[in-house]
Structure 1
Amino acid sequence: MVTIVVIAHRPLASALVTAAQHVYSRDPCAASRQLVGLDVAPDAELGDAVAQANALLQSVDRSQCILILTDLLGATPGNVAARLAQPGRIAVVAGVNMPMLLRALCYCESSLDELVAKALAGGANGLLQLPAFPGASTTPSDGKAPERKR
């Protein structure tokens, strides 16, 4: 099983972890999944954030691989994640979103390489432009949401 770690700008990491736990709250297998998050403060120094991340990773079973999902490449959380990458043991994917995280959780029993591919596909497939609701006004005159026609 692969442990999933979300490292993102505060409060995104904890929000994604909480939302994923909510989605899988009725799943009896969810308790066996390892999912942790690290919120990086806006004023965090890179060295301090790396130390926090390393401390978090110490709590993970050393025999398990780790998939780190981070929000933004080039920002402090992404830089922290990049410093933790270890070929064959710790993989890093940037651009985390809810579909990516949920897909990764569904396949956390896969190999690390397969899990990376599944997470990337889940993230990309979750990006869609939704069509306007049939019969919905695109410019409501009263400022209220359009009512659904039945």
Structure 2
Amino acid sequence: MTHNDIGTSLIRSLEEILGTLPLPIKALPVRIEGEPMSYCYHLEQLYMAVNEGHGVLVLTDVFGATPCNIACHLIENYRVRVVCGVNLPMLIKIMNYPSADLDTLANKALSGGTQGTFDVNSILN
């Protein structure tokens, strides 16, 4: 769940890199002109579509922004983990653990997101 088409673009890039994805993944673009509460309904529908009985990892782009705030509405009623700061290394990392439980996937997302960032100048110098 991201602003505009960030999530959709990340998923397309992930598919180009990995081909067939081992875990179900969907994007929910949030647009400024949209009604925030209508996204709660759409997110619940996506939850039902991808949940295989073990809960769902919801990735958002920015903590405290509308996509994250909407995703947090699921926490009370559904088995979800919400992780902010979605990026391509994070997605690649979680796809390498298709049989992991929800908490492990959330931790893999966090480690992939942080371990996938580098100061390239300091590496090359």
Q: TM-score range by the shorter chain?
A: 0.7 to 0.9
Q: Which has the higher strand share?
A: 1
1:11 aligns to 2:5 (yes or no): yes
Question: Which protein is richer in helix relative to its size?
Answer: 2
When structure 1 is superposed on structure 2, of 111-120 and 85-94 the one drifting more is 85-94
Which residue of 24, 35, 59 corresponds with 2:18? Answer: 24
Q: Is 1:49 the equivalent of 2:39?
A: yes
Tell me the equivalent position of 1:139. Answer: none
Equivalent pairs counted in the alignment come to 125
Task: Provide structure 2 residue ranges, at least 5 long, that are not aligned to the other structure.
Answer: none
Structure-2 separation of matches of 1:101 and 1:74: 21
Q: 4+ residue runs of structure 1 moved beyond 3 angstroms?
A: none
RMSD: 2.3
Structure exhibiting the larger radius of gyration computed from Cα positions = 1
The structure 2 residue matched to 1:125, chosen from 103, 106, 115, is: 115
Query: For residues 79 and 103 of structure 1, what CA distance do their matches in structure 2 show?
Result: 24
Distance 1:88 1:114 in 2: 17
Does structure 1 residue 39 correspond to structure 2 residue 29?
yes
Q: Quote the residue 2:91 is aligned against.
A: 101
Higher mean C-alpha deviation, range 45-54 or range 68-77: 45-54
User: Taking every aligned residue pair, what percent have the same amino acid on both sides?
Assistant: 30
The alpha-carbon deviation at position 36 of structure 1 amounts to 0.9
* Secondary structure in structure 1 of the residue aligned to 2:121: coil
Task: State how far apart, in whole Å, the 1-side matches of 2:35 and 2:80 are.
Answer: 22
Q: Which residue type is aligned with residue 70 of structure 1?
A: T
Q: Distance in 1 between matches of 2:39 and 2:86?
A: 18
Paired residues of 1:88 and 1:112 also in contact (CA < 8 A)? no
Q: Are 1:115 and 2:88 counterparts?
A: no
